[in-house]
Amino acid sequence: MAPAGHDRWAAMHWPRLGEHRDAGQYQMPSACPKRSSKYLGPGTLCCAHVGLMHESAVSGLEYPALSQDGVSDVHPAAAVAPAGFQNGNVPMRIGIFSAKNYERTLLDELNASHHHDLVYFDTLLGPDTASLAAGFPAISVFVNDGVDGNVLRQIAAGGTKLVATRSTGFNHIDLKTAKELGVAVVRVTNYSPNSVAEFAVGLILVLNRKIHRAYNRTREGNFELDGLMGFDLVGRTVAVIGTGKIGTIFARIMAGFGCSVIGFDVHRSPEFQHIGGRYVDADGIEEADIVSLHCPLTPETYHIVSARTLGRMKKGALLINTSRGGLVDTEAAIEALKSGQLGGMAIDVYEQEAGLFFKDLSSTVIPDDVIQRLVSFPNVIVTGHQAFFTREALGTILETTLASVSDFAAGRPLANEITL
C-alpha cells in the first residue's frame, strides 16, 4: 500500500506537468478520477506517477519502484534525494499573488530551507487572473485578493489544492466553497500581535496630539500651536471591540497610559480581565473616549460601527480601526465627522481598499470619492494597511506560509488550517 499522504502528494503534483499534456504520453487526471497511484497499463501512467517522474526530471529524485499492482511503496518525501527533498521536504510549486518586492526578497531567503518553486505575481487574484493559478498545487494570497466561490472553482479546476493566505484575517476567502471543492485553506494564526497593537496606539497618539499636522506645519516653517491641542490619555476610557490577541495587547498598553479599559467580545478573555479590563454590554460604548476595533470581519461584525453606534458614542470620541474596513459604515462615519459627533478617526483599513491599497496611485486621479473625502478631513488619518508591517511580523508571516505549504506537501497535519 502507498503510505498515508502519498495520494494527496501525488494529486497535488500533477499540475506541474503542463508541458507533458500535449505530448499524449501520459494518462491525465481526467482518466484517473481518484488520482490514485495505480499504474494504469502499458504506456499510461496515472497523474501520481507522472508527477513523480516529473519531479525526477527536475530534481534528480530516484523514481520509486512500483510493486506488482503498480502502487509505489516509497513516499517521495522519504526517498533519499538531492536538495529539495532532504529533511522530509517535498518541494511544491507555489503561485504567490500580490507579491511585493519586500516579500520576494525575504521569501527567497527563507525558501532556502524549504526548496519550493516560487513564482511571483504582482497582480491581485480575482476572476480575471485566476487562470494564472493553473498548474500551481499551492497558491498564496494576501488580504485584498478575492478568493470567492467563482475564483475557487477556477483555481480548483486548474489543480490548486491549497490556498495559503499571508494574513490572520480570512474574510476574503469563501471557506464553504473551498471545503466543497476539497481545497485546504491555511492562514498565519500567530504573528507578532504587538505589531498591530502598537500601531493602533501610534494612531491614537498622532490623531489626538495632531502630530501629522505638526509635522507638515514645521516643514513649511509654521511653528504655530493653534489647532494642535489634544487631551491627556491618563484617566480616559478606552473601548476595545474584540479582546483577542491584538485587542488584549492593545488594552495592556492603554492601561499603561493610565486609561480605564472596557471590552466587548463574544468570548471573555481572562488575560484581558487580568490587566484590569472590564467587560461591558453594548451600552458601555457611551463611556468611551476612544473606541478601537480588534474583532474579525464576519457577517455578525459587518458595520458593527453604524450610524446608530456612532450616535451612541460620547460626542468627540475617537475611532480607531486597524482590523477590517467592513467593520465601519464609512459613509455614516463621514456624517458623524461632519457633525462633530465623532472627534476624529484613524483607519489602517478601508472597506473599498482592494482597488487602492498597496499601490502607488500618486500620479493618477483616484475615482473613489469616499476615500478622497476622508483624507480631506484634518482629523482623519488613513494608512494603507500597514499595521502588521514590522520586520518581526513579516518574517513570521512568510516563514509560517512556507512551513504550511511544506506540511501540506509532505502530508503532515496543518496546524494553521482554517476549518469550518
The contact set with ligand NAD (CB under 6 A) reads: 168-169, 193, 196, 241-247, 264-267, 294-298, 300-301, 322-324, 348-349, 385, 387-388
Among residues 103, 351, 353, 399, the one annotated as catalytic is 353
Among residues 103, 324, 351, 399, the one annotated as catalytic is 324
Rounded to a whole number of angstroms, the minimum distance from the CB of residue 161 to ligand NAD is 25
CA dihedral 4, 8, 9, 14 (to 10 degrees): 150
Rounded to a whole number of angstroms, the minimum distance from the CB of residue 237 to ligand NAD is 17
Rounded to a whole number of angstroms, the minimum distance from the CB of residue 160 to ligand NAD is 24
Active site (annotated) includes residue 324: yes
Query: Mind giving me the DSSP string for 361-379?
Result: -TTS----HHHHHHHH-TT
Cα separation, 254 vs 237, whole angstroms: 9
By beta-carbon proximity to ligand NAD, the closer residue of 27 and 400 is 400
3-class SS of residue 93: strand
Active site (annotated) includes residue 20: no
By beta-carbon proximity to ligand NAD, the closer residue of 155 and 188 is 188
Neighbours of 69 (CB within 10 A): 9
Active site (annotated) includes residue 217: no
H/E stretch holding 344: strand 342-347
By beta-carbon proximity to ligand NAD, the closer residue of 26 and 142 is 142
Among residues 75, 236, 385, 399, the one annotated as catalytic is 385
By beta-carbon proximity to ligand NAD, the closer residue of 72 and 322 is 322
Q: How many residues does the chain have?
A: 420
By beta-carbon proximity to ligand NAD, the closer residue of 157 and 266 is 266
By beta-carbon proximity to ligand NAD, the closer residue of 30 and 419 is 419
Rounded to a whole number of angstroms, the minimum distance from the CB of residue 108 to ligand NAD is 23
What is the pairing mode between strands 260-264 and 237-241? parallel
By beta-carbon proximity to ligand NAD, the closer residue of 14 and 264 is 264
Rounded to a whole number of angstroms, the minimum distance from the CB of residue 330 to ligand NAD is 16
Q: Which residue is nearest to ligand NAD (CB)?
A: 244
Rounded to a whole number of angstroms, the minimum distance from the CB of residue 164 to ligand NAD is 16
Rounded to a whole number of angstroms, the minimum distance from the CB of residue 128 to ligand NAD is 26
Residues annotated as part of the active site: 324, 353, 385
